[in-house]
Amino acid sequence: MKRALILTIATCILGATMAAAQTVRLKDVATIEGERGNQLVGYGLVVGLDGSGDTQQAAFTVQSVANMLQKFGVAVPVAKMKVKNVAAVMVTANLPPFVRPGSKIDVMVSSLGDAKTLQGGTLLQTPLQAADGNVYAVSQGNLSIGGFAAGGGGGSVTKNHPTAGRIPEGAIVEREVPTTLTDGKSLNVLLSNPDYATAASVAQAINAKVGAGSASAIDAGTVKVAVSDPANLVSLIADIGELSVTQSTVAKVIVNERTGTVIIGGGVKLSPVALAHGNLSVEITTQTQVSQPAPVSTGQTAVVQQKNVTATEDSNKLMTLNTGNTLEELVRGLNELKVTPRDIIAILQALKQAGALHAELEII
C-alpha cells in the first residue's frame, strides 16, 4: 500500500515534468485586461419548505415575511407568525463580462438562519447588487440541492449539504457592466501566473504573428500589444489567443499536512545530501483476565488487567543524493525506504531546512 502511494506520486511528478516542456495556448494562461466578472449578492426568502425552514429564533426571517406580506396588503402581527416553511437566504452570483440585459446566469443560495434543509424550496424574486449598490440582476426559481436530510424516531441521515443549493440560469441580467479592453492604441495581456520568461515568450510569439514591435513585455505579468485597427480588435484578440507559447514555471512543492497530500512540480533540483528516515511505533495492549480463588478459600473472584507494551523501530537504509539529482531520483529512493506520503512531508521540510531542496515549499 505504501509503495503504491509513492508510485502514484512519482507518476504525477513525471507527468508534470513532461508537461513543463510543452507549449500551451495563450488564451489558456492569460486574459485581456478589462475582461473580468463582477460579484453580486442579495437577501431573499425561500418558501415552500416542508416544515424544515427557520424557527422563531431567526427573528429576521419573521420580520422579512411580515414586510413582504405588507407590500401585498396583508398586515399580520410579527408575534403571531410562524415561519417553519420559510427560510432566509443569501443569494450570490458571478456576473461574467460581456453579458447583456436579458441574459441568464446561475445563482447560489445559502441558508442564513437555522433551517434544516432547503429541499423543495422556491426562491422569491431577489434583487442582486454589486459593490456599488446598483441592482444588476434579479433572481427567482426552484432550488436544486443535490442532497437531502431526513430523520425521525431519534435518528437522522444527511447527504451532501442540504442548506445550500443553486438555481441554473436562475437570474436575469437587468443592467450591463461596461467593458473596456483598449484605449484605442493598445491592450494588455495579463498572465495568470506571472513569470518573466513566460512574458518574454508571449511577446516574441505575438511579434512573430502580428509584426515586429507589436508587443512588449512590461513586467512579469503584463504584455502590451499595439492595436493598429480598433475596428478589428476582436479578430486581433482571437488570433493572439490561439498562439502557442512556452510557459515557464517556478519550481514548487505544495504540501497539505491535513490530508497528507504532496504535489511536486517539475524542475526541482537537489543538492548533495544523505537521507535516512525511521519510524518508531509503540503499541500498548490490555488483556482482561479473571482471578478465581481456590476452592474452600477466603479469597474473592477479581478481574485483573494485564498490559503488554511493544516497541518497534524500522531499520531503514541511508540514501545519498548527489548534485543535480532530480525529483524522479528522489522518489525512487523514497520508494526504497518505503515511506508514506506523510513521511515525505517531514522529509521535504527537513531537506528545505538543510538547504538541499531548491524549490519553494508551500504548506497549505
pLDDT (tens digit per residue) in 257-316: 777 777 877 777 777 777 666 654 445 455 667 667 767 666 677 766 665 655 455 555
Q: pTM above 0.95?
A: no
Q: Report which secondary-structure segment, H or E, holds 7.
A: helix 2-20
Question: For residue 304, is it within any domain?
Answer: no
pLDDT at 157: 63
Q: DSSP 3-state assignment of 122?
A: strand
Question: Region 108-134: what's the mean pLDDT?
Answer: 94
Q: How confident is the model at residue 155 (pLDDT cuts 50, 70, 90)?
A: low
pLDDT at 217: 95
Q: What span, in angstroms and rounded, lies between the C-alpha atoms of 46 and 41?
A: 15
Mean pLDDT of the chain: 81
Q: Is the pLDDT of residue 91 over 60?
A: yes
Question: Region 318-327: what's the mean pLDDT?
Answer: 58
Q: What span, in angstroms and rounded, lies between the C-alpha atoms of 274 and 221?
A: 39
Q: Which of 246, 263, 297 is the last residue of a domain?
A: 246
Q: Which of 155, 173, 191 is the last residue of a domain?
A: 173
Mean pLDDT is lowest, of 5-19, 81-95, 273-287, for 5-19
Q: Which of 230, 246, 262 is the last residue of a domain?
A: 246
Kindly report the CATH number assigned to the domain that includes residue 207.
3.30.1360.40
pLDDT at 335: 66
Percent of the chain exceeding pLDDT 70 equals 74
User: 3-state secondary structure string, 270-312?
Assistant: ECCEEECCCCEEEEEEEEEEEECCCCCCCCCCEEEEEEEEEEE
Q: Do residue 339 and residue 267 come from a single domain?
A: yes
Question: Region 144-157: what's the mean pLDDT?
Answer: 63
CA 181 to chain centre: 29
Q: Model confidence over 67-84: pLDDT tens digits?
A: 999 999 998 888 888 888
Q: How confident is the model at residue 26 (pLDDT cuts 50, 70, 90)?
A: very high
Q: What span, in angstroms and rounded, lies between the C-alpha atoms of 149 and 119?
A: 8
- Nearest to 20, CA basis, from 268, 242, 330: 268
How many structural domains compose the chain?
3
For 170, half-sphere exposure in the C-beta direction (CA atoms, 13 angstrom radius) is 25
pLDDT at 190: 96
Q: Where do runs of H (alpha helix) occur along 114-257?
A: 196-210, 233-241
Q: Is the pLDDT of residue 189 over 50?
A: yes
Higher-confidence position of 282 and 47: 47
Q: Is the pLDDT of residue 324 over 60?
A: no
Q: How confident is the model at residue 9 (pLDDT cuts 50, 70, 90)?
A: very low
* Host domain of residue 270: 252-279+315-363
Q: DSSP 3-state assignment of 185?
A: coil
Q: Do residue 56 and residue 147 come from a single domain?
A: yes
